[in-house]
Amino acid sequence: MNVTVGDATPQEARYLRMLNELHDAEGIEVSDETVEIDDEERHSLGVPMARRAEEFLLMAQSDAQWDGFVIDPQIAERGLRFFEIGSYWRCAKPLPKVSGEFFLRTFFDVLVSSPPKLAWKGTPEGERVLYSQFRVIDSHPKSGSGLLAAVRIQTDTTPLEIWVWDARLGAKKMDLDYCGYLDALLLTKGAYGWQYLFTDVSLADDLFRNVTANLTDALEILPRLFPDGDYASLVSRLEARL
């Protein structure tokens, strides 16, 4: 598949290029892919992010829930305008069983979406409040892994916090802002569990056994398949958590 968009920003072009690279990489099988844009006939992503930010802030002025809400200016410059963009892939034999997935929507659609239903009957009140502030920026709808990443909606806070959540592991705060998340995803290609490289966890814990196995193999394979990427910092993060 060769996806092109005429008015793509440099960051949007990087994401389109990543989709094409996943298809072209020897040993990777792409099981599912989605790209939805504003005007498919004209190959256009539509209104610039800066204008979308202005429109959102104008709307927010008439809604008390957004009082004190701040948008990082970088989002207007580096955010993605795709309605949806995602890929679900895995390595074929004889490569190790590495898999990855990502599914993103445009940032301002995320902000006005409902929080994910993560709480259950026994969830402590503090966690319920935290989950109510989550808006999903990335998820795994095809593999059904249950992992998701969310931006935390808070007033007078910039940049906004990014959290990763898994049904078995709970919520962990990431050492990344939204734009940093987009950059890291480009490098990892969505390899399952990559988000934990940016959290304060021990990947030596048995709870992370599957995550650690996938990441260990991924960080051995990805540099060979995508030699233009600099994976040294990710390898260092993995080693520091083992």
pLDDT tens, residue order, the chain (242 aa) = 555 667 889 999 999 999 999 999 999 999 999 999 876 655 668 888 999 999 999 999 999 989 999 889 999 889 999 999 999 999 999 999 999 999 999 999 999 999 999 998 889 999 999 999 999 999 999 998 889 999 999 999 999 999 999 988 999 999 999 999 999 999 999 999 999 999 999 999 999 999 999 999 999 999 999 999 999 999 999 999 99
Instruction: Please report whether residue 134 resides in a domain.
Output: yes
Instruction: Please report whether residue 80 resides in a domain.
Output: yes
Instruction: Please report whether residue 60 resides in a domain.
Output: yes
Instruction: Please report whether residue 202 resides in a domain.
Output: yes
Instruction: Please report whether residue 44 resides in a domain.
Output: yes
For the chain, what is the domain count? 1
Instruction: Please report whether residue 3 resides in a domain.
Output: no
Nearby residues of 87 by Cβ (< 8 Å), 6 or more positions away = 18, 19, 22, 30, 32, 33, 34, 100, 101, 102, 189, 190
Instruction: Please report whether residue 206 resides in a domain.
Output: yes
Instruction: Please report whether residue 1 resides in a domain.
Output: no
Q: Which domain holds residue 104?
A: 10-240
**C-beta of residue 197 within 8 angstroms of C-beta of residue 172:** no
Question: Can you give the pTM of this predicted structure?
Answer: 0.94
